[in-house]
Amino acid sequence: MLTEKYPDEVNKILAKYPEDRKRSAIMPLLYLALRDNDHITNDVIRDIAAITGSSETQVEGVVGFYTLYHDEKGGKHYIQICTDLPCALRGADQFAEQAKDYLGCGFEETTADGKITLEHVMCLAACDKAPMFQLQNGKGIFYHENQDIESFKALVDELRSEADA
């Protein structure tokens, strides 16, 4: 599947690792699979397991551990707000509540229009720049630091208008 759709990219990823360490390519291959889909399917898990000589359980373990990967359908965009203690001390909890109110959904939920999934995560490595969140979509991962609800609303409105275009 991936080797048919992205043969050059798969070969470049695999070339970075010794033959007996192909399992190391699981994460970049999962990220490549997200280019076309907002979540990791069972077919992708089987494909990556075959490419890397890993078990499906090993690939599923990576998907389940990292917040970068999703195994259930969500929105076109994932907004992940850091809510750990250092960020909370800088207002992340209040920011998160305002974000939930604006989106009309809670954490681990998708907006009614199906465009945005909101998640809380622990530590995005920018404690001194909280409140902050990362945005994931088919275009990449983007960090938004030193946020307030107005900048959040502007971004959400932009995402919604792009999706409608």
Fold of the CATH domain 77-164: Glutaredoxin (3.40.30)
Per-residue pLDDT of the chain (165 residues; tens, 9 = 90+): 888 898 999 999 999 999 899 999 999 999 899 887 778 999 999 999 999 999 999 999 999 988 788 888 888 899 999 999 999 999 999 999 999 999 999 999 999 999 999 999 988 999 899 999 999 887 888 999 999 999 999 999 999 998 554
Fold of the CATH domain 2-65: Arc Repressor Mutant, subunit A (1.10.10)
Helix locations, the chain, DSSP H: 2-5, 7-15, 26-33, 42-52, 56-65, 85-89, 92-103, 149-164
Q: Where are the domains of the chain?
A: 2-65, 77-164
